[in-house]
Amino acid sequence: MELVYPPVLAIARSLFAAQGLKFTLVGSENLPRTGGAVVMMNHLSYMDFTYAGFPAIKQRRVIRFMAKKEVFDHKISGPLMRGMKHIAVERGNGAQSYRDAVAALKRGELVGIFPEETISRSFELKSFKTGGVRMAQEAGVPIVPMILWGSQRVWTKGKPKRLGRTNTPITVAVGEPMTYDETLSPEQNTQRVKDAMQKLLDAARANYPTLSGADLEFLPASMGGTAPTLDEAEADDARIAAERRRKRAEKAAAASSSQG
């Protein structure tokens, strides 16, 4: 019995209504009404996991999202994440979160993952990890492609939050379920899902209101926007990741020295 998820969803829907967010849901019927499935989606904003749950509501389902452990450690979000039975991903211990996700899939759960792992600063699809399709293969469940568009205008990496009344349109589109092709490698199967997601994304962009002026910062460079290119964004992400690793190493070295 779900004790936490329903009230959290109700509160979220009220907050989104207060913001004036205008949702367009496409293909909600593609989410299976029963049984497990890996739901793979793009990552544009900090709010994506909340918006991505809307199509599941129409199917009377909930999605268990894989999220970094730090979210579970937070004094406010942690109890909610655990109550909603989301799956914690601990840096350096991905094997355990993978096992937890496969177990949830075998129990008939929908498991949501962001194969790009981090928010795309370019608002294009980044490189995908293969974990999602490997989970689907091991659990014997389908993969459901999903995309979001417009969520980057609410709260994304490196931009101020826009959590007041914004009247922002947000599209969530769900593609047809896909099965793991045993004749192909995990990388090739991942590319198949990515291609399906790109088609959904192209369609969502084509039907989205035209952005102009200051909102061009939320539009990919390939579409005439001022967001960084995919190469520029990934180079920046690599630089930031390297700096974080350096700081963690320094912290660990300092801790080791103090203990000695």
Residue-wise pLDDT tens digits, 166-215? 999 999 999 999 999 999 999 999 999 999 999 999 999 999 999 999 99
pLDDT digits (tens, 9 = 90+) for 68-99: 888 898 888 899 899 999 999 987 778 999 99
Nearest to 241 by CA among 126, 151, 97, 162: 126
Percentages helix, strand, coil for the chain, rounded to the nearest 5? 50, 15, 40
- Percent of the chain whose pLDDT exceeds 70: 99
Question: What predicted TM-score, i.e. pTM, was given to this entire model?
Answer: 0.93
Band of pLDDT at residue 141, cut at 50, 70 and 90: very high
Superfamily of domain 4-228: Glycerol-3-phosphate (1)-acyltransferase (3.40.1130.10)
Residue 226 has pLDDT above 70, yes or no: yes
Pairing of strands 110-113, 87-89: unpaired
Helices (H) and strands (E) in the chain, counts: 9, 7
Query: For the CA atoms of the chain, what is the radius of gyration?
Result: 19
pLDDT at position 200: 98
Nearest to 146 by CA among 190, 114, 123: 114
Structure tokens at 222: 């390939």
Q: What residue ranges do the domains of the chain occupy?
A: 4-228
